[in-house]
Structure 1
Amino acid sequence: MNHEQDLPVGSRLVQVPAATVVLEGNLTLPPQAKGMVVFAHGSGSSRHSPRNRYVAQVLNEAGLGTLLIDLMTREEEIQEAATRFLRFDIGFLTDRLLAATDWLLDLPEARDLRIGYFGASTGAAAALRAAAERPQAISAVVSRGGRPDLAGHALFRVTASTLLIVGGHDLPVLDMNYEALEKLPGDKQIEIIPGATHLFEESGALEEVARLARQWFLHYLVSPAEDLGTLVQDDLMEELTERPEEEEL
């Protein structure tokens, strides 16, 4: 299957240099983008993940740019399928994410946008460690079912505003996230999705993840005036959608 033919309008395939290799990614910049979110994919995942693409679409519709980047080359992914080693090498994943971040900072059409990270599983640990390494560049981090414990002592240096989203039935990861929350020094919050497991496959779970991520990034990546207008409009639409019909007297 040619995934590149399925790119949304306004997206393009990009190649990002990272040391001796070139990484592939999907860059989407809505008209008058308000901020940029870089996705750090988790264990065994890629930029073609339906879950990450759905979240990216929700962010794009809110006026946020996205970069879905493969942190491994195709050759490395083939090797990883057999060894399952690199997905837990947080230092390796962090270096690749930092390379993508530095590339984005030099991109003319994105260099004036505030940047956030959306990390899943082990990718969340890489996102947090990278945020600690680039405190002036990264304004916000959202973790979906992440392993922030794998970020180690870097958690104490994360100044980016961080949202940890965990499934209520993902018990081991839930405990790890509560412990990590205590170590984060900046603005932070944890959101539990009741009944959800690690992959948020339950009905409505991923939609809630996307809604929470959208609100977090709009709040911390967008200027206050733009942020207020977008959130008021979104909240009004949700209220009208969820409001039950009044019974006739």
Structure 2
Amino acid sequence: MNGLVKKDDILIPPLDLPGCLRSLADPRGIVVFAHGSGSSRLSPRNRYVAEALNRVGFSTLLFDLLTLDEEVDRSNVFDIPLLAERLVATMKWVSTEPRTANLPIGLFGASTGAAAALVAAATLGDSIRAVVSRGGRPDLAAAAVAKVRAPTLLIVGGNDHDVLVLNRSALTRLAGYKELKMIPGASHLFSEPGALDAVVVEAAAWFARYLEPAARDARKGPTHAIR
């Protein structure tokens, strides 16, 4: 559809955070992933989702939110302001990197990474075109949830009862267009047969809806880099 996927191992400045950029020749947009606590750019679930998004025309970026030294301190994996700060810095790189510049940007956050994605979306405003949260912890984003204007999809497992309650509460506070999709029978990790495929279907439809029109507009001329 959009050409072969080119896979590049990259280092994102200024901290040289390692990442994996999977880019297409004519993408519908780019989706940047924020992994949950105890995970990394090598998260098998996020890689599964990313590869599925590549197949339907989206470039993707998975990267480590922390340096190796920072990962030693477990408190850092729950430091949402720090993780959001790394996401914002990475968005600036995405908006100026030749392989991704001018592409509409979507965020896909899992667990605690979803909280960081919401804070980053609130910070960057219209620069973020869509957000998808998988088993997210929006409660950790605190007051930033009410400042998110990007269309936001909250995906929660039907058996992830506590997180489902948290997401239902967040749904009422999100400022922009929003939806909550419950995957029946799925737990927090969506490890049940077919659960992650259901996530892919919902996420792909959401990004197609909110990124692709912006991609057509972007081809008409340059956009401003994120500052």
- TM-score where L is the length of structure 2: 0.91
Which of 87, 90, 95 is 1:105 aligned to?
Answer: 95
Does the 8 A contact of 2:5 with 2:54 survive in 1? no
Which amino acid is the alignment partner of residue 114 of structure 1? P
Aligned mates of 1:219, 1:144 — CA distance in 2: 18
Which of 53, 60, 64 is 2:54 aligned to?
Answer: 60
Which amino acid is the alignment partner of residue 11 of structure 1? K
Aligned mates of 1:225, 1:92 — CA distance in 2: 30
Choose between structure 1 and 2 for higher RCO, CA contacts under 8 A separated by at least 6 residues.
2
Aligned mates of 2:160, 2:130 — CA distance in 1: 24
What is the CA distance between 1:136 and its match in structure 2? 2.2
Larger Rg, first or second structure (1 or 2): 1
Within a 5 Å distance, the mapping from 1:65-214 to structure 2 comes to 65-77=59-71, 79-80=72-73, 84-214=74-204
Stretches of structure 2 lacking an aligned partner (at least 5 in a row): 217-227
What is the CA distance between 1:87 and its match in structure 2? 1.3
**Could you list the runs of 4 or more consecutive aligned residues of structure 1 that deviate by over 6 angstroms after TM superposition?**
none
Aligned mates of 1:134, 1:167 — CA distance in 2: 28
Does the 8 A contact of 1:31 with 1:63 survive in 2? no
Aligned mates of 1:11, 1:179 — CA distance in 2: 38
Give the total of aligned pairs: 213
What is the CA distance between 1:73 and its match in structure 2? 1.4
Aligned mates of 1:122, 1:191 — CA distance in 2: 18
SS at match of 1:112: coil
Aligned mates of 1:29, 1:98 — CA distance in 2: 20
What is the CA distance between 1:108 and its match in structure 2? 1.9
- TM-score where L is the length of structure 1: 0.83
Q: Deviations over 1:151-190 (max 9, x none)?
A: 1111111000000000000011000000000000111000
Stretches of structure 1 lacking an aligned partner (at least 5 in a row): 1-7, 227-249
Which residue matches 1:23? 17
Which of 12, 37, 41 is 2:35 aligned to?
Answer: 41
What is the CA distance between 1:225 and its match in structure 2? 10
Q: Which moved more, 1:196-205 or 1:104-113?
A: 104-113
What is the CA distance between 1:22 and its match in structure 2? 1.8
Aligned mates of 1:157, 1:32 — CA distance in 2: 32
Which residue matches 2:210? 220
- CA 1:101–1:194 in 2, change beyond 3 Å: closer, same or farther? same
Identity of matched residues, %: 53
